[in-house]
């Protein structure tokens, strides 16, 4: 069982993580949430390019990487070509490891692994994505109002799609999954069937 890569791209809170974890569990693939790399770099402070070059596995374990602020900081450092270049080799090696790998992010099918055996592009309306993120953060008990979460989602989408280096967009051969009116678990079941058909 040599390399086999599943690339999953899409905007924040579209359901990429749920689909990636389901595929990893079903097929025994290793899973890399590549957003965590950019979140860790953003959280380190100082020169982002130096931080990306010095990134260690334990930096990905920080408990404060899932916050809205960490997401915004990640998307700012992710626009820097030096940061992206520093994280490239690690992601490519991970993608082509023996036994199969699933990576989720923004540029996996377009830049990191254009040769991936299966590519998915997962989207949903900004409103539904913000709603899900707000519920995850605690809903009425969340520290942020729904409107603030929605504004953050829109801002991050615009920055990720508008940057010059590795902008968020579907690969030409990506399978599109829209989770606006279907939950991520049923989308994951479909994705399992599609990967099974290629394996």
Site residues (CB under 6 A) for ligand C5P?
12, 34-35, 38-39, 71, 74-75, 78, 105-108, 156, 160
Q: Report the distance separating Cα 95 and Cα 75, nearest Å.
A: 22
| Residue with Cβ nearer ligand C5P (18 or 34) | 34
Least CB distance from residue 196 to ligand C5P, whole Å?
A: 25
User: Hey, what are 30's tokens?
Assistant: 């290793």
Residue placing its CB nearer to ligand C5P in the complex, 31 or 107: 107
Minimum Å gap between C-beta 74 and ligand C5P is: 4
Q: Is 12 assigned a ligand-binding role in the annotation? A: yes
Pick the closer one to ligand C5P by CB: 164 or 197: 164
Instruction: Tell me the CB-side half-sphere exposure of residue 128, using CA atoms within 13 A.
Output: 13
Toward ligand C5P, which CB reaches closer, 106 or 119?
Answer: 106
Min CB(87)–ligand C5P separation in Å: 8
To ligand C5P, the closest distance from the beta carbon of 146 in angstroms equals: 18
d(Cα 24, Cα 192) in Å, to the nearest integer? Answer: 10
Has 15 been labeled as part of a binding site? yes
Is the Cβ of residue 26 or residue 159 nearer to ligand C5P in the bound state?
A: 159
Least distance to ligand C5P, CB of residue 107, Å: 5
Q: Is 17 known to sit in a ligand binding site?
A: yes
Here the contacts of 86-91 (C-beta below 8 Å, separation 24 or greater) are 86/49, 86/52, 86/53, 86/55, 87/34, 87/37, 87/38, 87/41, 87/52, 87/55, 88/112, 90/37, 91/32, 91/34, 91/37
**Has 16 been labeled as part of a binding site?**
yes
119 known member of a binding site: no
Long-range contacts of 46-49 (CB under 8 A, 24+ apart): 48/77, 48/80, 48/82, 48/83, 49/80, 49/82, 49/83, 49/86
Rg (alpha carbons) of the chain, rounded to whole number: 16
Q: How far is CA 165 from the centre of its chain?
A: 16
114 annotated ligand-binding residue: no
Point out the annotated binding site for ATP: 10-18
Point out the annotated binding site: 10-18
């Amino acid at each position: 069982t040599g390399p086999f890569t599943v690339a999953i791209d899409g905007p924040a809170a579209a359901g990429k993580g749920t689909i990636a974890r389901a595929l990893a569990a079903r097929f025994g693939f290793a899973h890399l949430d590549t957003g965590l790399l950019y979140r860790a770099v953003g959280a380190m402070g100082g020169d982002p390019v130096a931080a990306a070059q010095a990134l260690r596995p334990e930096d990905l374990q920080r408990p404060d990487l899932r916050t809205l602020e960490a997401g915004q900081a990640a998307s700012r450092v992710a626009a820097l070509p030096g940061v992206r270049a520093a994280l490239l080799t690690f992601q490519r090696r991970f993608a082509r490891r023996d036994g199969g790998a699933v990576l989720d992010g923004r540029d996996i099918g377009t830049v990191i692994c254009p040769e991936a055996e299966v590519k998915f592009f997962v989207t949903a309306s900004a409103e539904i994505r913000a709603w899900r993120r707000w519920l995850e953060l605690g809903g009425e008990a969340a520290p942020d109002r729904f409107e603030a979460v929605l504004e953050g989602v829109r801002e991050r989408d615009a920055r990720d799609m508008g940057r010059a280096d590795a902008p968020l967009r579907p690969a030409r051969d990506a399978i599109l999954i829209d989770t606006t009116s279907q939950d991520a678990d049923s989308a994951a079941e479909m994705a399992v069937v599609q990967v099974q058909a290629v394996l």
